[in-house]
């Protein structure tokens, strides 16, 4: 199994570096392009949510760490942060059948993560949020 880890500053400007890192790790382990894209998309969305919402009202220092474990069967990413507690897996699915003007704001990023990943798990551990994103390597 290959394991990688990256510390990410809580700034939107870090997202490009993060996406490049995911692509490089995926390339080292020969992941298919569609799997690499799905991982990049889900990890980017998770980190953007942390940057945009997780640290609101939270004093520094702010910390985000992304780990990536790749084996023959699965790819697993964990996004860990010291922001306020938030369980994205507890959020309801958005009602996509409603007209745009009747939909509630937000929730589409979490919907996107659920759509491209096989499994999302959340836990709060030692004052940190840990979001696990899992995808089978087909």
pLDDT (0 to 100) of residue 120? 97
Positions in the chain short of pLDDT 50: none
Pairwise CA distance, residues 129 & 122, whole Å: 7
- This prediction's pTM: 0.90
Pairing of strands 64-70, 128-136: unpaired
Pairwise CA distance, residues 112 & 72, whole Å: 25
pLDDT (0 to 100) of residue 105? 59
pLDDT digits (tens, 9 = 90+) for 8-23: 999 999 999 999 999 9
pLDDT (0 to 100) of residue 46? 97
Domains and CATH numbers, the chain: 2-136 (3.30.565.10)
Helix or strand run (H / E) with residue 38: helix 33-49
Give, as one character, the DSSP assignment of residue 87. Answer: -
pLDDT digits (tens, 9 = 90+) for 64-82: 999 999 999 999 999 999 9
Q: How many CB atoms are closer than 10 A to CB 38?
A: 20
pLDDT (0 to 100) of residue 110? 87
């Amino acid at each position: 199994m290959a394991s990688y880890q990256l510390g990410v500053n809580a700034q939107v400007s870090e997202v490009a570096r993060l996406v490049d890192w995911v692509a490089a790790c995926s390339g080292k382990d020969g992941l298919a392009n569609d799997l690499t894209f799905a991982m990049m998309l889900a990890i980017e969305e998770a980190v953007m949510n942390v940057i945009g919402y997780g640290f609101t009202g939270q004093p520094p220092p702010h910390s985000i760490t992304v780990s990536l474990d790749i084996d023959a069967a699965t790819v697993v990413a964990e996004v860990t942060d010291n922001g306020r507690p938030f369980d994205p897996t507890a959020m309801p699915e958005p009602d996509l059948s409603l007209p745009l003007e009747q939909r509630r704001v937000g929730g589409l990023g979490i919907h996107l993560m659920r759509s491209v990943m096989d499994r999302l798990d959340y836990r709060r551990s030692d004052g940190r949020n840990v979001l696990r994103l899992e995808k089978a390597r087909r």
